[in-house]
């Protein structure tokens, strides 16, 4: 009896600690603006200082103009076209892929759909007038918590947030064609594929937003995912963020669309220089502004 009671007490203590940790984590995400809003269609500002500084930099980038292709999203988008020294090889790939199409990157790491909605409503798309918008978002709403089946509440939260984002984009950039990307494959915190049924259902909802003209849906998951839905070996660096191979899959899917909508890339590029993480301690070697002016290596 004593051993049973000790075991029961230990189990209760472990459950209590897990609940407290989960509650603390939820409170922290809510405090810094990463907790998805109960009403998915409402904008949510990031409260941390680094995100506020980044927003100011992105507002300035938007004001510079010269942007025909506007990339929007979270860290998966951001890392591709950032000036951060850590991701210099991604920036080089970005330049080789999109130079001459005047592409600018407005992704910010950690953003949910509602955080992106807030940045757009607070001016990051004002008077930009892009011809094409590439939008990928939703993975931070899903997170890495293991799940059983489809998380219907998360699906509704993400879908309503994305609908609100699309509405803002069409209002602020009425002449742009929006390329709505499916949420890419990811593993859960245990390295499994338990979140993929939820992501697949979100992507089904995304596909319903497309009309084939002003909004086009593009899903590259068949090229990125294994049979169970999790990322294939080598297409991510950590089970979530894309590697160079993953970005090449994305670029290969976008190139014919850009060529159709914009024509072949020009020999010069007028997009503003890339921005980076304000908290990054190391700057990239060389002048990052040269990324918009040098001729890419083909």
Q: Which two tokens stand for residue 202?
A: 């979100």
Q: Which of 247, 290, 246 is nearest to 269 (CA)?
A: 290
Q: Which of 167, 264, 183, 279 is nearest to 225 (CA)?
A: 183
What integer pLDDT is reported at residue 39 of this predicted model? 77
Residue 205 CA to residue 182 CA, distance in Å, equals: 10
Beta strands in the chain, from DSSP E residues, in sequence order: 69-73, 103-105, 132-136, 177-181, 215-218
Residue 83 CA to residue 189 CA, distance in Å, equals: 29
Q: Which of 236, 264, 269, 261 is nearest to 250 (CA)?
A: 236
Residue 124 CA to residue 212 CA, distance in Å, equals: 25
Residue 233 CA to residue 37 CA, distance in Å, equals: 33
End-to-end CA distance of the chain: 74
pLDDT values of the chain reduced to their tens digit, one per residue, 298 residues: 444 454 444 444 443 433 333 333 433 444 344 455 567 999 999 999 999 999 999 999 999 999 999 999 999 999 999 999 999 999 999 999 999 999 999 999 999 999 999 999 999 999 999 999 999 999 999 999 999 999 999 999 999 999 999 999 999 999 999 999 999 999 999 999 999 999 999 999 999 999 999 999 999 999 999 999 999 999 999 999 999 999 999 999 999 999 999 999 999 999 999 999 999 853 443 333 333 332 333 3
Q: Tell me the pTM.
A: 0.83
> In the chain, what are the helix, strand and coil shares in percent, each to the nearest 5?
50, 10, 40
What integer pLDDT is reported at residue 36 of this predicted model? 52
Q: Which two tokens stand for residue 146?
A: 């293991």
What integer pLDDT is reported at residue 38 of this predicted model? 61
DSSP type of residue 287: -
DSSP bridge pairs for 180: 135, 217
Residue 172 CA to residue 189 CA, distance in Å, equals: 37
């Amino acid at each position: 009896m004593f051993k049973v009671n000790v075991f029961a007490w230990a189990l209760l203590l472990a459950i209590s600690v897990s609940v407290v940790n989960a509650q603390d984590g939820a409170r922290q995400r809510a405090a810094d603006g990463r907790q998805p809003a109960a009403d998915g269609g409402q904008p949510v500002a990031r409260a941390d200082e680094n995100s506020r500084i980044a927003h100011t930099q992105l507002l300035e980038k938007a004001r510079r103009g010269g942007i025909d292709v506007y990339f929007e999203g979270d860290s998966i988008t951001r890392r591709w076209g950032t000036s951060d020294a850590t991701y210099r090889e991604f920036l080089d790939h970005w330049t080789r892929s999109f130079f001459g199409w005047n592409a600018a990157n407005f992704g910010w790491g950690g953003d949910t759909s509602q955080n992106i909605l807030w940045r757009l409503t607070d001016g990051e798309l004002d008077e930009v007038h892009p011809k094409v918008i590439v939008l990928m978002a939703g993975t931070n709403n899903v997170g890495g918590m293991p799940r059983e089946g489809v998380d219907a509440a998360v699906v509704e939260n993400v879908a309503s947030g994305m609908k609100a984002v699309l509405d803002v984009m069409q209002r602020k950039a009425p002449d742009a064609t929006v390329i709505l990307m499916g949420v890419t494959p990811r593993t859960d915190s245990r390295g499994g594929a338990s979140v993929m049924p939820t992501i697949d259902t979100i992507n089904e909802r995304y596909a319903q937003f497309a009309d084939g003209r002003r909004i086009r849906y593009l899903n590259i998951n068949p090229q990125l995912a294994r049979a169970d839905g999790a990322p294939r070996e080598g297409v991510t660096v950590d089970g979530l963020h894309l590697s160079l191979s993953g970005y090449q899959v994305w670029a290969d899917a976008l190139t014919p669309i850009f060529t159709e909508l914009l024509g072949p890339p020009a020999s010069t590029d007028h997009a503003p220089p890339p921005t980076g993480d304000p908290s990054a301690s190391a700057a990239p070697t060389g002048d990052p502004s040269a990324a918009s002016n040098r001729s890419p290596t083909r």
